[in-house]
Amino acid sequence: MGQDIQSNLLDLLSFLNEIVKNQNSKISYIYNENYGYPDLGSNIKDMNLSEELKNALINYGIIKLYKFQQEAMESILKNNDTVISAGTATGKTEAFLIPILNLLKNNSEERALFIYPTKSLERDQISRISSLSKELGVSFGIIDGDTPPKERTEIYKNTPQILISNPDMIHLGLSLSSEFRNALKNLKFVVIDEMHIYKGIFGSHMKWILYRLSKLSNEDVLFIGSGATIGNPEEMGESLFGRKVKVIYGPKRRKGTALHIFIDHGYMSRWTFSSYIISSLIKKGLKVLAFTDSQQMSELISKISRKNYNTNVLVHRAGLSAETRKKVENDIKEGLIKGVVSTSTLELGIDIGDLDAIVMTSLPKSYSSYLQRAGRAGRRGNPGLVITIMGDDPIESFYLNNPEKYFSQEPDPGYIEPRNKEVLKLHFISYLLQKGFIKKDDMPEEFLDVVDELLQKGFISISNNIYHPSWKEGRNFILNNSIRSTGPIVKIYYKNKNIGYREMPQALYELHPNAIYYHSGETYLSIKLDVNSYRAEVIKLNDVHFYTKPLYNIDVIEVIPKEKRLAGIIPITYGDLHIMIQVEGYVVKDEYSGSIISTSYYEKPIKWDYWTKGILTKYPELMFESGEKKISSYHALEHVLISASRPIIGASDTDLGGISYPSGHIVIYDSSIGGHGGSKLVFDRFEKVEGLALKIVSSCNCEDGCPRCVFSPYCGNNNQYLSRKGALSLLKYVFENKETKNEEGKPLGKPLA
């Protein structure tokens, strides 16, 4: 490590120690990361590339490729569907761009489609693509929702050899525009960059978009995936592409030096402490990007930073206008501001300039996400500071006690649910509009899951075993449904002006009557939520120092089993679940401490039901000392199983929901409508989930339940009726008994969520 870098990091560490001590908190763990350059491959002059491309690369400053780049190039040139798995900022773009340019240079009729998950990322990457392309005379262009009509017409007339777009544009273009379809007919390559993003619902949609794309062009189109931090690149590539793939592994980390620091926030609330750390770093002159997994927490941290610490920290998240997000990106890139708090929207490789520090306000939803976020600090040869605020959370508590286990783990697996019925409905209608008709024998068998419903609702028709679309109804269906989600969208209105949106069922928890809602730095109070018209109305509030949490219950109405097995002595079923949510009231909590100020209940609960996927388990009915101890034990077990599932499958806090019953039944379900694949991974890895759950409850020394073991910030009962000791007894019984004595039966009694 260079002396200057060492000196800078020691100075930063000394500063951090000082500001943390001022709040009676502490630095719990420090991990020094130092990675060199990846292994080098052959000299450019010796490679099987055109002379023009060799000269262009040398002029560009590339004398040798890294070994993994060369391996990727050779795989692509051999016509292999290829997945490139390498860390952030390691040179993945060059690994697929060079072989594609080599082939397009001498084949003017063939085309390549580069797909990026967002419009911002498209435009961010164009400079890297354009430099080499221009020198070789390979044409390129962007087509998306922001492309002016005149440019779009020119693209349709003279399609560039490299076309850059995003999944939303491709989905709509394939369905609704014959000109768009014609522009993509001669595709030779389809590149899916940032492939690790396509997990869950978004990945399920992407699978079917790629299927439709392959049917449009030809079966010979070559798929290339590129992504960082993928735990199962081969499985994920084959799930998305529907083909066997060759995986090329690059370095897991970027070159450079970074200091990873865990800080226990102590008695101060997480968001207040996060605001304090972010503001302190900014005042020291550092450029800071902070991450939170909650839209509302990002707004709250921005507010506290401004009001309590006189620091301007802007918000970047979904639900804000594209113009607002773009301005935030430009302002921090140009140095006009020094701090941004973001959800996962800035987790991708959008160029916002050099960053001195990354602050994660909690452990991210997955280790893959941690690596992706951490990779944004200290680029271009500068050391990076990566701070994670740790505290009262079962998983954070576990890793505070075992930090070396956190940094020694492998990236999490990606998962999708290709049979999500909401996804299938959208893409069957879209595929019919794209093709005009489909013979029954030529249809993917997955679409059979939704045929009857679509016929009944009049979106499609059938005659002589040929399916046809209902053009008007189909078009409206496509335009009113997003590939970024599966739930209905609740529009938020202030003085009859639409200021934002929230997807169901999350809107139930954030926009129920009297909920505090943060948006664009302003504080609002929800005064009405209509779950039939999907409309919320809000009014502005000034200078409040509290926030709200919903009180709710969830019940399973119906279970349609798909798979069953035994996990030790525990019967476990995976299938379709029909669940009912009831928001019954809310608690008001102090912004600084998180303590409860008041509790209120509605006269009439707000109800909403939907279908998803999930698992149903049945635990033994042990001899508990009371009925309350019994329900508290199952409720605590449900909480800790969900907490343990997070690192096992790479899920966020809100990806999975849970329900416990006095009968010993525990349900873990996908929070997305139709399911996203997470609960299927829990089903497959349930023994691992139970094992981690046992470690969590057995290593905590609290009396009988606390935030570090069985509490959940998303508990519908405000963490009432929880027993760590009861959950521990159940898990010990499961691991110590080998005989199967449990009958599954049906859930009985009042559920707790």
| DSSP 3-state of 686 | helix
Query: 377: how many CB neighbours lie within 10 A of its CB?
Result: 27
Q: What is the pLDDT of residues 502-552, one digit of tens each?
A: 889 999 999 999 999 988 778 999 999 999 999 999 999 987 889 999 999
Report the C-alpha gap between 220 and 243 in whole angstroms.
Answer: 12
Q: Are strands 535-541 and 522-530 parallel, antiparallel or unpaired?
A: antiparallel
Residue with tokens 């928890």: 509
156 and 24 part of one domain: no
Quick check: is 464 in a domain? yes
Report pLDDT for 34.
80
Report pLDDT for 120.
80
| Better-predicted residue by pLDDT, 319 or 268 | 268
DSSP 440: G
96 and 236 part of one domain: yes
pLDDT-derived band at 380 (thresholds 50, 70, 90) equals low
Report the C-alpha gap between 359 and 20 in whole angstroms.
Answer: 14
Q: Which of 75-84, 279-288, 315-324, 387-396 has the lowest mean pLDDT?
A: 315-324
Residue with tokens 């354009």: 130
| DSSP 3-state of 669 | strand
In angstroms, what CA-CA distances link 266 with 25, 27, 597? 5, 10, 21
Quick check: is 487 in a domain? no
One-letter amino acid at 126 equals: I
Backbone dihedral region for residue 207 (phi beyond 0: left; psi -120 to 50: alpha; all else: beta): alpha
Report pLDDT for 222.
96
Q: What is the pLDDT of residues 83-121, one digit of tens each?
A: 999 887 788 999 999 999 999 998 888 999 999 998 888
Average pLDDT over the chain, rounded to an integer: 90
| Better-predicted residue by pLDDT, 12 or 189 | 189
In angstroms, what CA-CA distances link 748 with 203, 294, 551, 631, 662? 35, 33, 21, 12, 7
pLDDT-derived band at 693 (thresholds 50, 70, 90) equals very high
Which residues lie across from 387 on neighbouring strands?
261, 359
432 and 464 part of one domain: yes
Report the C-alpha gap between 370 and 364 in whole angstroms.
Answer: 6
Which residues, at least 6 apart from 232, have a Cβ–Cβ distance to it below 8 Å?
413, 414
Report the C-alpha gap between 72 and 139 in whole angstroms.
Answer: 23
Report the C-alpha gap between 536 and 521 in whole angstroms.
Answer: 19
Query: 705: how many CB neighbours lie within 10 A of its CB?
Result: 24
Report pLDDT for 1.
40
* 264 CA to centre of own chain: 25
One-letter amino acid at 488 equals: P
Domain boundary among 249, 270, 300: 249
| DSSP 3-state of 241 | helix
Q: What is the pLDDT of residues 608-625, one digit of tens each?
A: 999 999 999 999 988 888
356 and 401 part of one domain: yes
Question: C-alpha dihedral over 696, 20, 650, 91, to 10 degrees?
Answer: -150
Average pLDDT over residues 304-318: 91
For the cut 70, the answer to whether the pLDDT of residue 2 exceeds it is no
Report pLDDT for 6.
58
Which residues, at least 6 apart from 472, have a Cβ–Cβ distance to it below 8 Å?
none
Report pLDDT for 254.
67
One-letter amino acid at 382 equals: N
Domain boundary among 375, 407, 439: 407
Q: What is the pLDDT of residues 698-730, one digit of tens each?
A: 999 898 999 889 999 888 888 999 999 999 999
Average pLDDT over residues 472-490: 88
Quick check: is 216 in a domain? yes
Quick check: is 488 in a domain? no
Question: Do the beta carbons of residue 203 and residue 416 sit within 8 Å?
Answer: yes
Q: What is the CA radius of gyration of the chain?
A: 26
Quick check: is 548 in a domain? yes
One-letter amino acid at 280 equals: S
H or E element, residue 7: helix 3-21
Q: What is the pLDDT of residues 420-464, one digit of tens each?
A: 988 999 999 999 999 999 999 999 999 999 999 999 999 999 999
* The two three-digit tokens of residue 170, written as one number: 């491709």
Which residues lie across from 489 on neighbouring strands?
503
536 and 628 part of one domain: yes
Residue 461 buriedness (CB in 10 A; 0-12 / 13-18 / 19+): middle
| Cα distance between the two ends of the chain | 50
708 and 693 part of one domain: yes
Q: By residue range, what is the domain housing residue 429?
A: 422-475
In degrees, rounded to 5, the angle at the alpha carbon of residue 646 between the alpha carbons of residues 650 and 370 is 50
H or E element, residue 261: strand 256-264
Length in residues, the chain? 753
Question: Do the beta carbons of residue 50 and residue 79 sit within 8 Å?
Answer: no
Which residues, at least 6 apart from 442, have a Cβ–Cβ distance to it below 8 Å?
none
Average pLDDT over residues 34-46: 86
Quick check: is 752 in a domain? no
pLDDT-derived band at 382 (thresholds 50, 70, 90) equals low
In 3D space, the residue among 383, 385, 365, 363 whose CA is nearest the CA of residue 374 turns out to be 385
Q: What is the pLDDT of residues 565-601, one digit of tens each?
A: 999 999 999 999 999 999 999 999 988 778 899 999 9
Report the C-alpha gap between 207 and 554 in whole angstroms.
Answer: 31
Domain boundary among 379, 407, 435: 407
Percent pLDDT > 90 in the chain is 63
Print burial letters for 594-603: b (CB count within 10 Å at least 16), e (below 16): beeeeeeeee
Quick check: is 493 in a domain? no
Report pLDDT for 527.
97
Report pLDDT for 475.
94
CATH assignment at residue 229 = 3.40.50.300
pTM: 0.84
Quick check: is 481 in a domain? no
232 and 295 part of one domain: no
One-letter amino acid at 275 equals: S
Query: 81: how many CB neighbours lie within 10 A of its CB?
Result: 20
For the cut 60, the answer to whether the pLDDT of residue 4 exceeds it is no
Quick check: bond before 38 cis, omega within 30?
Answer: no
Average pLDDT over residues 51-57: 92
58 and 185 part of one domain: yes
Report the C-alpha gap between 177 and 614 in whole angstroms.
Answer: 37
453 and 520 part of one domain: no
428 and 532 part of one domain: no
Report pLDDT for 366.
84
457 and 577 part of one domain: no
Long-range contact list for 303-308, CB < 8 A, 24+ apart? 303/518, 303/521, 303/523, 304/271, 304/272, 304/275, 304/591, 305/275, 305/278, 305/279, 305/339, 305/341, 306/521, 307/543, 308/272, 308/275, 308/276, 308/279
Helices within 576-705 (DSSP H only): 627-649, 678-684, 686-699
Per the structure, how many domains does the chain have?
4
What sign does the CA torsion over 198, 200, 202, 206 have?
Answer: positive
Report pLDDT for 562.
93
Percent pLDDT > 70 in the chain is 97
233 and 274 part of one domain: no
For the cut 50, the answer to whether the pLDDT of residue 202 exceeds it is yes
Q: What is the pLDDT of residues 240-275, one digit of tens each?
A: 999 999 999 998 776 778 899 999 988 888 889 999
Average pLDDT over residues 471-487: 88
> For the chain, how are helix, strand and coil distributed in percent, rounded to 5?
40, 25, 35
Residue with tokens 């849970």: 658
